[in-house]
Amino acid sequence: MDKNNNLKPLAITFFASGIWDTIAGILYLFVIGTGRSIDNPPSHSFYTVFLASFFFCFAYLQFMSSFNIRRYIVVVGCLIIGRVFYVIQLYLYMLFYKDFPSTFWFTGIVDTSFTLMYFIFAFRGGLGIKDLFLPFRGRT
């Protein structure tokens, strides 16, 4: 891997997706859940707080990794796996679960966009699939 590869767009995108996950964490912590402002689909407050903690962890990983994106590129791969799983699950629920609210299309589009940008900026920066999903001890 050439040290001169430009991974700055990937780092900026990764930082921005950390902001997105922070917003999601705040929403799940204070706004989403049964008896709160957004309660469709209904969810117990335990699960919304539980999900918020994951969003905050993901955001922290994204913020910290974005400052040394080359060293922590495997974190990008982990987030790709998580976002792809989430987006597929979300779209399946929206398409096949009769009463699932359509307001979630927005988050599906944003998360799909982030995932595509991860791939585009990683490949333009000279990284390959192996770099994203298989950590290599010799790189810094």
What are the angstrom distances between the C-alpha of 15 and each of 21, 97, 98, 127, 137?
10, 33, 35, 18, 24
Determine whether 138 is exposed, middle or buried from the number of CB atoms within 10 Å of its CB (0-12, 13-18, 19+). exposed
Quick check: helix, strand or coil at residue 7? coil
- Domain extents in the chain: 8-133
State pLDDT tens for residues 23-74: 999 998 998 877 787 777 778 888 889 999 999 999 999 999 999 998 899 9
Q: What is the pTM of this model?
A: 0.85
Calpha distance 46→58 (Å, rounded): 19
What is the CB neighbour count within 10 angstroms for residue 123?
A: 14
Q: What is the mean pLDDT of residues 116-126?
A: 95
